[in-house]
Amino acid sequence: MKIFSINTGFFKLDGGAMHGVVPKSLWQKPNPADEQNLCSWAMRCLLIDTGASKILIDCGIGNKQDQSFMKHYYLHGNDTLEQSLAAHGYKTSDITDLFLTHLHFDHCGGAITREGDKFLPVFDNATYWSDKLHWKSATNPNDREKASFLKENILPIKDLGKLKFVETHDGGEWQDGIIVRYMQGHTESMMVPIIDYNGRSIVFCADLIPSAAHIPLPWIMSYDMQPLKTLKEKKEILEMAADNNWVLFFEHDPKIECCTVEHTDKGVRMKNKFKLSEINKY
Protein backbone atom coordinates (compact mmCIF):
# COMPACT_ATOMS: atom_id res chain seq x y z
CA MET A 1 0.00 0.00 0.00
CA LYS A 2 1.16 3.51 -0.83
CA ILE A 3 -0.42 6.66 0.60
CA PHE A 4 -0.17 10.28 -0.48
CA SER A 5 -1.43 13.63 0.80
CA ILE A 6 -3.37 15.39 -1.97
CA ASN A 7 -3.69 19.15 -1.57
CA THR A 8 -6.54 20.85 -3.43
CA GLY A 9 -6.04 24.44 -2.25
CA PHE A 10 -7.21 26.67 0.59
CA PHE A 11 -10.36 28.55 1.44
CA LYS A 12 -11.48 30.85 4.21
CA LEU A 13 -14.15 30.50 6.87
CA ASP A 14 -15.16 32.61 9.84
CA GLY A 15 -12.82 31.99 12.76
CA GLY A 16 -15.56 32.17 15.37
CA ALA A 17 -17.70 29.61 13.54
CA MET A 18 -14.76 27.27 13.13
CA HIS A 19 -13.85 27.36 16.82
CA GLY A 20 -17.29 27.40 18.46
CA VAL A 21 -17.34 28.48 22.09
CA VAL A 22 -13.56 28.93 22.27
CA PRO A 23 -12.70 32.66 22.59
CA LYS A 24 -10.66 34.38 19.91
CA SER A 25 -7.91 35.14 22.42
CA LEU A 26 -7.18 31.40 22.42
CA TRP A 27 -7.78 30.35 18.80
CA GLN A 28 -6.11 33.38 17.21
CA LYS A 29 -2.65 31.99 17.95
CA PRO A 30 -2.92 28.59 16.17
CA ASN A 31 -5.25 29.85 13.44
CA PRO A 32 -4.78 33.62 12.95
CA ALA A 33 -7.62 35.54 11.35
CA ASP A 34 -7.52 38.33 8.78
CA GLU A 35 -9.21 41.74 9.13
CA GLN A 36 -12.59 40.13 8.32
CA ASN A 37 -12.15 37.50 11.04
CA LEU A 38 -11.60 34.81 8.40
CA CYS A 39 -9.07 31.99 8.81
CA SER A 40 -7.43 29.98 6.04
CA TRP A 41 -8.16 26.26 5.88
CA ALA A 42 -6.73 23.47 3.76
CA MET A 43 -8.80 21.04 1.71
CA ARG A 44 -6.43 18.09 2.04
CA CYS A 45 -7.39 14.69 0.68
CA LEU A 46 -5.81 11.26 0.95
CA LEU A 47 -4.86 8.92 -1.89
CA ILE A 48 -4.48 5.22 -1.12
CA ASP A 49 -2.88 3.01 -3.76
CA THR A 50 -3.38 -0.67 -2.92
CA GLY A 51 -2.16 -1.82 -6.29
CA ALA A 52 -5.55 -3.12 -7.40
CA SER A 53 -7.34 0.06 -6.31
CA LYS A 54 -6.64 3.77 -6.28
CA ILE A 55 -8.83 5.21 -3.53
CA LEU A 56 -9.24 8.96 -3.02
CA ILE A 57 -10.80 10.16 0.24
CA ASP A 58 -12.69 13.42 -0.36
CA CYS A 59 -11.89 15.76 -3.24
CA GLY A 60 -12.09 19.41 -2.20
CA ILE A 61 -14.40 22.17 -3.39
CA GLY A 62 -13.93 21.87 -7.16
CA ASN A 63 -14.19 24.74 -9.64
CA LYS A 64 -17.73 24.72 -11.01
CA GLN A 65 -19.35 27.20 -8.62
CA ASP A 66 -20.05 30.71 -9.88
CA GLN A 67 -18.27 33.83 -8.68
CA SER A 68 -21.10 34.86 -6.36
CA PHE A 69 -20.50 31.64 -4.44
CA MET A 70 -16.72 31.63 -4.58
CA LYS A 71 -16.37 35.20 -3.34
CA HIS A 72 -17.66 34.11 0.07
CA TYR A 73 -14.90 31.54 0.50
CA TYR A 74 -11.80 33.25 -0.92
CA LEU A 75 -10.15 30.28 -2.62
CA HIS A 76 -6.40 30.73 -2.68
CA GLY A 77 -3.11 28.88 -3.01
CA ASN A 78 -1.40 27.22 -5.94
CA ASP A 79 -2.53 23.65 -5.34
CA THR A 80 -5.25 21.93 -7.36
CA LEU A 81 -6.57 18.40 -7.24
CA GLU A 82 -5.23 17.55 -10.69
CA GLN A 83 -1.79 19.05 -10.04
CA SER A 84 -1.43 17.28 -6.71
CA LEU A 85 -2.37 13.94 -8.24
CA ALA A 86 0.06 14.53 -11.12
CA ALA A 87 2.88 15.31 -8.68
CA HIS A 88 2.62 11.70 -7.50
CA GLY A 89 2.19 10.26 -10.99
CA TYR A 90 -1.59 9.90 -11.08
CA LYS A 91 -4.48 11.23 -13.17
CA THR A 92 -8.14 11.59 -12.26
CA SER A 93 -8.87 8.69 -14.62
CA ASP A 94 -6.66 6.43 -12.44
CA ILE A 95 -8.97 6.73 -9.45
CA THR A 96 -11.10 3.61 -8.95
CA ASP A 97 -12.94 4.64 -5.79
CA LEU A 98 -13.91 8.06 -4.44
CA PHE A 99 -14.79 7.77 -0.75
CA LEU A 100 -16.82 10.79 0.40
CA THR A 101 -16.75 11.25 4.17
CA HIS A 102 -19.79 13.51 3.85
CA LEU A 103 -21.37 15.73 1.24
CA HIS A 104 -20.63 19.25 2.44
CA PHE A 105 -19.39 21.28 -0.53
CA ASP A 106 -15.76 21.55 0.60
CA HIS A 107 -15.48 17.75 0.75
CA CYS A 108 -17.33 16.62 -2.38
CA GLY A 109 -17.43 19.58 -4.80
CA GLY A 110 -14.45 18.29 -6.76
CA ALA A 111 -16.32 15.10 -7.69
CA ILE A 112 -18.43 16.75 -10.40
CA THR A 113 -17.50 19.27 -13.08
CA ARG A 114 -19.66 21.39 -15.36
CA GLU A 115 -19.45 21.76 -19.13
CA GLY A 116 -22.06 24.25 -20.23
CA ASP A 117 -25.35 22.94 -18.88
CA LYS A 118 -24.01 19.41 -18.35
CA PHE A 119 -22.64 17.92 -15.17
CA LEU A 120 -19.90 15.34 -15.67
CA PRO A 121 -17.85 13.12 -13.35
CA VAL A 122 -14.31 14.28 -12.65
CA PHE A 123 -13.29 10.67 -11.98
CA ASP A 124 -14.53 8.81 -15.05
CA ASN A 125 -13.51 5.35 -13.91
CA ALA A 126 -14.37 5.62 -10.23
CA THR A 127 -17.22 4.42 -8.07
CA TYR A 128 -18.40 7.18 -5.73
CA TRP A 129 -19.06 5.96 -2.18
CA SER A 130 -21.42 7.58 0.32
CA ASP A 131 -23.60 6.44 3.23
CA LYS A 132 -27.29 5.75 2.74
CA LEU A 133 -28.51 7.69 5.79
CA HIS A 134 -26.18 10.58 5.06
CA TRP A 135 -27.31 10.69 1.43
CA LYS A 136 -30.92 10.94 2.55
CA SER A 137 -30.02 13.78 4.92
CA ALA A 138 -27.97 15.61 2.27
CA THR A 139 -30.67 15.39 -0.42
CA ASN A 140 -33.37 16.55 2.02
CA PRO A 141 -31.37 18.97 4.17
CA ASN A 142 -32.60 20.86 7.19
CA ASP A 143 -32.63 24.65 6.95
CA ARG A 144 -29.44 24.98 9.00
CA GLU A 145 -27.36 22.73 6.74
CA LYS A 146 -28.97 23.58 3.42
CA ALA A 147 -26.21 26.00 2.39
CA SER A 148 -23.59 23.25 2.79
CA PHE A 149 -25.40 20.62 0.69
CA LEU A 150 -25.40 21.86 -2.90
CA LYS A 151 -27.61 19.91 -5.31
CA GLU A 152 -25.20 20.32 -8.21
CA ASN A 153 -22.51 18.56 -6.16
CA ILE A 154 -24.70 15.70 -5.02
CA LEU A 155 -27.55 14.75 -7.37
CA PRO A 156 -25.36 14.22 -10.49
CA ILE A 157 -23.46 11.50 -8.63
CA LYS A 158 -26.59 9.36 -8.70
CA ASP A 159 -27.84 10.59 -12.08
CA LEU A 160 -24.53 9.61 -13.70
CA GLY A 161 -24.69 6.10 -12.25
CA LYS A 162 -21.66 6.61 -10.03
CA LEU A 163 -23.23 6.19 -6.59
CA LYS A 164 -22.80 3.24 -4.26
CA PHE A 165 -23.35 3.06 -0.53
CA VAL A 166 -20.89 1.77 2.02
CA GLU A 167 -22.52 -1.24 3.66
CA THR A 168 -20.78 -1.90 6.96
CA HIS A 169 -21.46 -1.42 10.65
CA ASP A 170 -19.62 1.11 12.81
CA GLY A 171 -16.04 -0.10 13.08
CA GLY A 172 -16.53 -2.60 10.27
CA GLU A 173 -14.19 -3.12 7.34
CA TRP A 174 -15.10 -1.43 4.04
CA GLN A 175 -12.13 -2.68 2.05
CA ASP A 176 -9.02 -4.57 3.09
CA GLY A 177 -7.21 -2.49 5.65
CA ILE A 178 -9.84 0.27 5.81
CA ILE A 179 -12.45 0.35 8.57
CA VAL A 180 -15.18 2.97 8.88
CA ARG A 181 -16.42 4.79 11.96
CA TYR A 182 -19.73 6.67 11.75
CA MET A 183 -19.93 10.06 13.46
CA GLN A 184 -23.23 11.80 14.21
CA GLY A 185 -22.10 15.08 15.78
CA HIS A 186 -20.97 17.11 12.78
CA THR A 187 -23.67 15.90 10.40
CA GLU A 188 -25.67 12.70 10.14
CA SER A 189 -23.52 9.61 9.54
CA MET A 190 -20.25 11.25 8.55
CA MET A 191 -17.80 8.45 7.75
CA VAL A 192 -14.31 8.54 9.27
CA PRO A 193 -12.03 5.95 7.64
CA ILE A 194 -9.18 4.41 9.61
CA ILE A 195 -6.45 2.98 7.39
CA ASP A 196 -4.08 0.17 8.36
CA TYR A 197 -0.77 1.26 6.88
CA ASN A 198 2.14 -1.07 7.58
CA GLY A 199 0.55 -2.05 10.88
CA ARG A 200 -0.09 1.58 11.85
CA SER A 201 -3.56 3.14 12.01
CA ILE A 202 -4.14 6.45 10.22
CA VAL A 203 -7.35 8.29 11.10
CA PHE A 204 -8.68 10.50 8.32
CA CYS A 205 -10.25 12.99 10.72
CA ALA A 206 -12.55 14.79 8.23
CA ASP A 207 -14.62 17.29 10.25
CA LEU A 208 -14.51 15.38 13.52
CA ILE A 209 -11.15 17.03 14.26
CA PRO A 210 -10.62 19.50 11.41
CA SER A 211 -7.25 20.79 12.59
CA ALA A 212 -4.63 20.10 15.23
CA ALA A 213 -5.97 23.06 17.22
CA HIS A 214 -9.28 21.19 17.56
CA ILE A 215 -7.76 18.34 19.56
CA PRO A 216 -8.81 19.75 22.98
CA LEU A 217 -12.33 18.48 23.60
CA PRO A 218 -14.20 21.82 23.89
CA TRP A 219 -12.84 23.02 20.52
CA ILE A 220 -15.88 22.07 18.43
CA MET A 221 -17.10 23.91 15.35
CA SER A 222 -20.33 25.88 15.44
CA TYR A 223 -21.18 24.09 12.18
CA ASP A 224 -21.73 20.82 14.08
CA MET A 225 -25.36 19.76 14.30
CA GLN A 226 -24.99 17.94 17.64
CA PRO A 227 -21.89 19.24 19.42
CA LEU A 228 -22.32 17.06 22.51
CA LYS A 229 -22.17 13.99 20.28
CA THR A 230 -19.04 15.41 18.68
CA LEU A 231 -17.58 15.81 22.16
CA LYS A 232 -18.18 12.14 22.95
CA GLU A 233 -16.96 10.95 19.55
CA LYS A 234 -13.78 13.03 19.70
CA LYS A 235 -12.98 11.80 23.18
CA GLU A 236 -13.30 8.15 22.15
CA ILE A 237 -11.15 8.51 19.03
CA LEU A 238 -8.50 10.63 20.77
CA GLU A 239 -8.14 8.23 23.68
CA MET A 240 -7.78 5.30 21.29
CA ALA A 241 -5.23 7.29 19.28
CA ALA A 242 -3.19 8.10 22.39
CA ASP A 243 -3.35 4.52 23.66
CA ASN A 244 -2.33 2.96 20.35
CA ASN A 245 -0.02 5.55 18.76
CA TRP A 246 -2.47 6.22 15.93
CA VAL A 247 -1.74 8.93 13.39
CA LEU A 248 -4.28 11.72 12.93
CA PHE A 249 -4.50 13.06 9.37
CA PHE A 250 -6.02 16.55 9.21
CA GLU A 251 -8.14 17.58 6.25
CA HIS A 252 -8.37 21.28 7.11
CA ASP A 253 -5.28 22.24 9.10
CA PRO A 254 -3.46 24.85 6.97
CA LYS A 255 0.00 23.75 8.13
CA ILE A 256 -0.06 20.43 9.97
CA GLU A 257 -0.78 17.30 7.93
CA CYS A 258 -0.43 14.69 10.65
CA CYS A 259 0.28 14.20 14.30
CA THR A 260 0.39 11.66 17.07
CA VAL A 261 -1.19 12.38 20.46
CA GLU A 262 -0.52 11.51 24.08
CA HIS A 263 -2.25 11.59 27.45
CA THR A 264 -1.37 14.63 29.60
CA ASP A 265 -2.73 16.14 32.79
CA LYS A 266 -4.79 18.45 30.55
CA GLY A 267 -6.23 15.60 28.53
CA VAL A 268 -5.11 14.22 25.18
CA ARG A 269 -2.76 16.62 23.41
CA MET A 270 -0.57 16.66 20.31
CA LYS A 271 2.73 14.80 20.67
CA ASN A 272 4.58 14.91 17.33
CA LYS A 273 3.56 16.77 14.17
CA PHE A 274 4.83 15.77 10.75
CA LYS A 275 4.05 15.39 7.06
CA LEU A 276 2.43 12.18 5.89
CA SER A 277 5.60 11.36 3.94
CA GLU A 278 7.48 11.34 7.27
CA ILE A 279 5.15 8.87 9.00
CA ASN A 280 7.74 6.15 9.41
CA LYS A 281 9.85 8.47 11.60
CA TYR A 282 7.13 8.64 14.25
Note whether 111 and 98 are within 8 A (CB): yes
Domains of the chain: 2-281 (3.60.15.10)
Note whether 182 and 191 are within 8 A (CB): yes
Reading phi first (left if > 0) and then psi (alpha if -120 to 50, else beta), residue 272 is in beta
Q: What is the pLDDT of residues 7-27, one digit of tens each?
A: 999 999 999 999 999 999 999
Model-level pTM?
0.96
Note whether 109 and 60 are within 8 A (CB): yes
Helix (H) or strand (E) holding 137: helix 132-139
Return the DSSP state at 246: P
Q: What is the pLDDT of residues 21-64, one digit of tens each?
A: 999 999 999 999 999 999 999 999 999 999 999 999 999 999 88
- Report how far residue 175's alpha carbon sits from residue 166's, in angstroms, rounded to the nearest whole number: 10
Tens-of-pLDDT digits for all 282 residues of the chain? 999 999 999 999 999 999 999 999 999 999 999 999 999 999 999 999 999 999 999 999 998 888 888 888 999 999 999 999 999 999 999 999 999 999 999 999 999 999 988 999 999 999 999 999 999 999 999 999 999 999 999 999 999 999 999 999 999 999 999 999 999 999 999 999 999 999 999 999 999 999 999 999 999 999 999 999 999 999 999 999 999 999 999 999 999 999 999 999 999 999 999 999 999 888
